[in-house]
Amino acid sequence: MKLSKSPWVLHYDGSSCNGCDLEILDSTTPVYDVERFGVVNTGNPKHADIFLITGGINAQNAPVVKQLYSQMPDPKVVVAVGICACDGGVFKDCYNILGGVNKVIPVDIYVPGCAVKPEAVIDGLRKAAELLDQKQKQMKKKRAAARKEG
Ligand code: SF4
């Protein structure tokens, strides 16, 4: 995998039980060491390329997820981590759960599991980094074409 930039990640816990969030943290420990791919965890959406979300969407977190997504610069990639983020999971029939992350923002990569294993998190991040690279190249081409047209 050859990337043109180290992907910066924004990790947001929507309404998870924290199981998937612990596995995400585990992927950053020396045992799994996701940082060897250049992945940097940032708390600032304006610095983030990849939006990593756990938990389902409810009425309270829906506007937060939308706002964080809108604050991230283009191009960006969204990764739904855990079956709750994918489609609401075990909580999908609860009165307050609207569904997965795709109820409010477009999702690029789905990483199912309950809880997701660190290996799956790393695989999702690897796919996200590749997709981000493709999106960046497409954006550069579009900008160059627009410049030529004047
Ligand atoms: S997928 Fe499982 S471990 Fe992850 S947030 Fe949902 S219930 Fe918790």
Q: Is residue 135 part of a domain?
A: yes
Q: Is residue 2 part of a domain?
A: no
Say how many domains are in the chain.
Answer: 1
Q: Domain range spanning residue 113?
A: 8-149
> Coil, strand or helix: which one is 56?
coil
> pLDDT category, 61, cuts 50, 70, 90?
very high
Helices 19-27, 118-149: inter-axial angle, 10-degree rounding: 70
CATH code for the domain of 74: 3.40.50.12280
Q: Is residue 38 part of a domain?
A: yes
Q: Is residue 1 part of a domain?
A: no
Q: Which residues line ligand 1 (CB under 6 A)?
A: 16-17, 19-20, 54-55, 82-84, 89-90, 114-115
Q: Is residue 100 part of a domain?
A: yes
Q: What is the mean pLDDT of the chain?
A: 94
Question: N- to C-terminal Cα distance for the chain?
Answer: 35
Q: Is residue 108 part of a domain?
A: yes
Q: Are 48 and 79 in contact (CB under 8 A)?
A: no
Q: How far is the CA of 147 from the centre of ligand 1 (A)?
A: 46
Q: 42: how many CB neighbours lie within 10 A of its CB?
A: 14
* DSSP code for 116: P
83-111 tens-digit pLDDT? 999 999 999 999 999 999 999 999 999 99
26-51 tens-digit pLDDT? 999 999 999 988 899 999 999 999 99
Tokens for 127? Answer: 């796919």
- pLDDT confidence of residue 90: 94
Tokens for 98? Answer: 């609207």
Q: Is residue 3 part of a domain?
A: no
Q: Is residue 13 part of a domain?
A: yes
**Which atom in ligand 1 lies closest to the alpha carbon of residue 83?**
1
